[in-house]
Amino acid sequence: MSKLSPKAEEVLESLWVAVEELDRVACLLTDLDLTPGDETLRELEALAYTEIRGERLYLRKEGRHEAEMTVRRHRLAERLMMDILDIQGEEGNEQACEFEHLLHQGVDTKICTLLNHPTTCPHGKPIPPGACCDEARRAGEVGVVPLTELSSGQSGEIAYLAANDDKKMQKLMSMGVLPGNRLEVIQTYPTYIFKVGHSQFAVDDALAREIHIRQR
């Protein structure tokens, strides 16, 4: 199959999110900035990925997998931009939207492996798993998980921080909670106590969820 146009990929992404995450059955053409006879619609209909009924566009079963992989590429691009390249906020979102269209021919697998198979995007939405994620799980490689999923005695490398609040980010950084540093969990209840370097720190559940760990 030839590569879809960026606009077609964006339409598939919107449809998948509407159906899978917003519990809707279709999207209005106007919400997708489309009109009947649009070139993008012809492109998708030629592949039997979508179907128009009245003023609404429906995602057909033939297009579900491609739509899911489009969402996967977008959310992996968000992780790359914000966690690795440290491009945050609206600029990070814009760069991810452009970069996602380049993640074809196995590039998405390489990015996913580089990021150690993250399960959520920076906004907390799930990243649909790829074949590489399934293989990693079978091999016992858990990938990147929130600190809250670790037990006492477990340790790993800090992969990234999901805190959007500047004060929270400064607090974590002052503790030495920085990507690349090792972290060992000492206690998980009633608060999370962990060790970074030679120092121990305590954080609540909400802050612990924003620390993501890469286990080895």
Domain boundaries, the chain: 1-141, 144-214
With a cut of 80, say whether residue 102 has pLDDT above it.
yes
Confidence of residue 141 (pLDDT cuts 50, 70, 90): low
**Mean pLDDT value of segment 118-125:** 84
Q: In terms of C-beta density within 10 A (0-12 exposed, 13-18 middle, 19 or more buried), how is residue 76 classed?
A: buried
Average pLDDT of the residues in 183-190: 95
Report whether 27 contacts 57 (CB < 8 A).
Answer: yes
Top pLDDT among 215 and 102 is at 102
Cα 154 from Cα 16, distance rounded (Å): 36
Average pLDDT of 127-142?
83
Q: Which two tokens stand for residue 156?
A: 């790993």
Look at residue 187 and tell me whether its pLDDT is greater than 80: yes
Statement: residue 86 has pLDDT above 80: no
Examine the pLDDT at 1 and tell me if it is beyond 60.
no
Q: Is the pLDDT of residue 169 over 70?
A: yes
Mean pLDDT to the nearest integer, 144-171: 86
Nearest to 10 by CA among 44, 37, 36, 42: 44
Please provide the CATH number assigned to the domain covering 1-141: 1.10.10.10
CATH class of the region 144-214: mainly beta
Give per-residue pLDDT as tens, 14-29: 999 999 999 999 999 9
Least Cα distance to 84 among 126, 106, 124, 113 occurs for: 113
Dihedral sign for Cα 211, 108, 101, 84, please: positive
More confident residue, 118 or 177: 177
Residues 179-188 have a mean pLDDT of: 94
Instruction: Report the predicted TM-score, pTM, of the whole model to 2 decimal places.
Output: 0.70
pLDDT digits (tens, 9 = 90+) for 44-80: 999 999 999 999 999 999 999 999 999 999 999 998 8
pLDDT of 157: 92
Q: Is 40 exposed, middle or buried (0-12, 13-18, 19+ CB in 10 A)?
A: buried
pLDDT of residue 30: 95
What average pLDDT score do residues 100-114 get?
88
State the DSSP string of the chain.
-PPPPHHHHHHHHHHHHHHHTS--S-EETGGGT--TT-HHHHHHHHTT-EEEETTEEEE-HHHHHHHHHHHHHHHHHHHIIIIIS---HHHHHHHHHHHGGG--TTHHHHHHHHTT--SB-TTSPBPPP-HHHHHHHHTT---EEEGGG--TT-EEEEEEE---SHHHHHHHHHTT--TT-EEEEEE-SSSEEEEETTEEEEE-HHHHTTEEEE--
pLDDT band at 162 (very low <50, low <70, confident <90, very high): confident
Collect all residues with Cβ–Cβ distance below 8 Å to 207 and sequence separation of at least 6: 163, 168, 171, 172, 192
